Amino acid sequence: MSKPKGFEKPAGVRDYLPYAVERLRAIERSVLDCMTGWGYRQIMTPTMEYYDTVGVASSTSDQKLFKLLNNRGTTMVLRSDMTAPIARVVSSLLKEEPLPIRLSYHANVYRAIEEEAGRESEFFQTGVELVGDDSPEADAEVVALAVASLQAAGVSTFKIALGHVGFLNGLLEEAVPGDEEAREGLKQGLLRRDYVGYREALTKLAVSDAQKEELKGILRLRGGKEVCSEARGLSQSQLAQDSIDHLCKVWEALEDYGVAEHVLIDLTMIGDFSYYTGLIFEGYAAELGFPVCSGGRYNNLLQQFGRPVPATGFALKTNRILDGVDGIKAVQKLPVLVQYTAQGRKSALQEAARLRSEGKVVVTQHVDTEGELRMVEDTAGKYADVVSFVK
């Protein structure tokens, strides 16, 4: 392997120049303020965690974790999301706090990627976790907050697609009983959005034509509240029926929140079916072809840390909003330039302190001569004002 050149960075990481940082912080502040208004308190967790705790519990596949050894030979990981670390905290430091618990965060996370994939290994997420409430009302709150957070981030046109892993599990268990491999193959097709492959897999199933049509019917389950009644007719499975009932109650609550116009039901969406246990959702901005927000219910995670309580949440993919959505613009404050010669330094620095106390950005500069001072004063557009102290 060749030695990196002086200016090279590892694949998947980036430098954020001042203007990008200003925009990123503006998005972060706006979204966290929004979340605070909904009763979510901000939390911070370590960048490094133990592999055997947070690493194993994470929804990220093992090969995408950044692993390292500490000086005792213990395997550590760089956090790949914030959900598992927050589950650890809720189950330990916050174990005496009454439920439900509402927490928010903004953090950088790390995932190993193939270098040629052009994706990022380090990126930012801003999100919430609502722990201790398994009701449709809790799911609706999180979805409604996702809508409000996207708007706070400057995303003006978007749709949030709702799904439910229980519906698909119930439908498949009823239609393809006893064939776990076939069910997993169908799920993978839906997970990859490979609907052609999904239909081809259906033709190979040893089930009746009626059952194949039933399974093909899920591809049509996209739209508004009417999808609920259509879905009920596809499966008599109790799990599927209960899942649709739950989803309909969430939709009704979202109507009362006044955000239903931003939401649609998509029962072909299943997310990571090994991790999520109920409602799942993804948000898509009009400017981008990939999600800027994702979340859902994960009722089995906290029991891995000894506190078996339900939970739900979401994360905004802040980098994608920063790069692909022309929403929040950071307002660049031009600084005031305070210049001085040696004799005027004390007065100049006192004036700079006074201006800063008024909220102004101030840059100070020592010059040797009046001629040099006048030359810098002529720099157009760089400073809001120039104040000179020459004695």
- pLDDT value at 377 more than 60: no
Report residue 207's pLDDT band, with 50, 70 and 90 as the boundaries: confident
The predicted-structure confidence for 231-245, as pLDDT tens digits, reads as follows 888 888 899 999 999
Q: Which DSSP helix (H) or strand (E) runs through 316?
A: strand 311-317
What local confidence, expressed as pLDDT, does residue 356 receive?
A: 95
The predicted-structure confidence for 243-288, as pLDDT tens digits, reads as follows 999 999 999 999 999 999 999 999 888 776 578 999 999 999 988 8
- For residue 239, give both structure tokens: 């799990």
Share of residues in the chain with pLDDT > 90 (%): 58
Q: Which residues of 259-287 are buried (b: 16+ CB within 10 A; e: fewer)?
A: bbebbbbbbbbbbebebbbbbbbbbbbeb
What local confidence, expressed as pLDDT, does residue 232 receive?
A: 87
Hey, which of 57-66, 172-181, 343-352 has the most confident mean pLDDT?
343-352
The predicted-structure confidence for 62-79, as pLDDT tens digits, reads as follows 899 999 999 999 999 999
Average pLDDT over residues 321-348: 87
What local confidence, expressed as pLDDT, does residue 117 receive?
A: 55
Report residue 149's pLDDT band, with 50, 70 and 90 as the boundaries: very high
Candidates 325, 323, 319; CA nearest to 123 is 319
Report residue 316's pLDDT band, with 50, 70 and 90 as the boundaries: very high
CA 116 to chain centre: 23
- pLDDT value at 370 more than 90: no
Report residue 1's pLDDT band, with 50, 70 and 90 as the boundaries: low
Q: Give the three-class secondary structure for 209.
A: helix
Q: Is residue 151 left, alpha or beta, with left meaning phi > 0 and alpha meaning psi from -120 to 50?
A: alpha
Q: How far apart are CA 224 and CA 189, in angstroms?
A: 24
Candidates 123, 139, 133, 165; CA nearest to 291 is 123
Model pTM? 0.89
- pLDDT value at 175 more than 80: no
- pLDDT value at 22 more than 80: yes
What local confidence, expressed as pLDDT, does residue 231 receive?
A: 87
What local confidence, expressed as pLDDT, does residue 290 receive?
A: 82
Q: How far apart are CA 212 and CA 205, in angstroms?
A: 8
What local confidence, expressed as pLDDT, does residue 78 receive?
A: 96
- pLDDT value at 313 more than 90: yes
Report residue 368's pLDDT band, with 50, 70 and 90 as the boundaries: confident
- pLDDT value at 303 more than 60: yes
- pLDDT value at 208 more than 90: no
Greater confidence (215 vs 54) lies with 54
Half-sphere exposure of 65 (CA within 13 A, CB side): 24
Hey, which of 174-188, 204-218, 228-242 has the most confident mean pLDDT?
228-242
Percentages helix, strand, coil for the chain (3-state, rounded to 5) are 45, 20, 35
105 neighbors 42 (Cβ within 8 angstroms):
yes
Q: How far apart are CA 247 and CA 197, in angstroms?
A: 27
Report residue 195's pLDDT band, with 50, 70 and 90 as the boundaries: confident
| Rounded alpha-carbon distances, angstroms, from residue 144 to 137, 187, 196, 259 | 10, 27, 33, 7
User: Please, what is the average pLDDT of the chain?
Assistant: 89
- pLDDT value at 391 more than 80: no
Task: Give the CA radius of gyration of the chain.
Answer: 27
| Rounded alpha-carbon distances, angstroms, from residue 391 to 301, 345, 366, 387 | 69, 9, 12, 13
| Rounded alpha-carbon distances, angstroms, from residue 251 to 111, 161, 168, 227, 247 | 33, 11, 18, 11, 6
Greater confidence (102 vs 119) lies with 102
- pLDDT value at 4 more than 80: no
What local confidence, expressed as pLDDT, does residue 312 receive?
A: 97
Report residue 113's pLDDT band, with 50, 70 and 90 as the boundaries: confident
Q: How far apart are CA 3 and CA 1, in angstroms?
A: 7
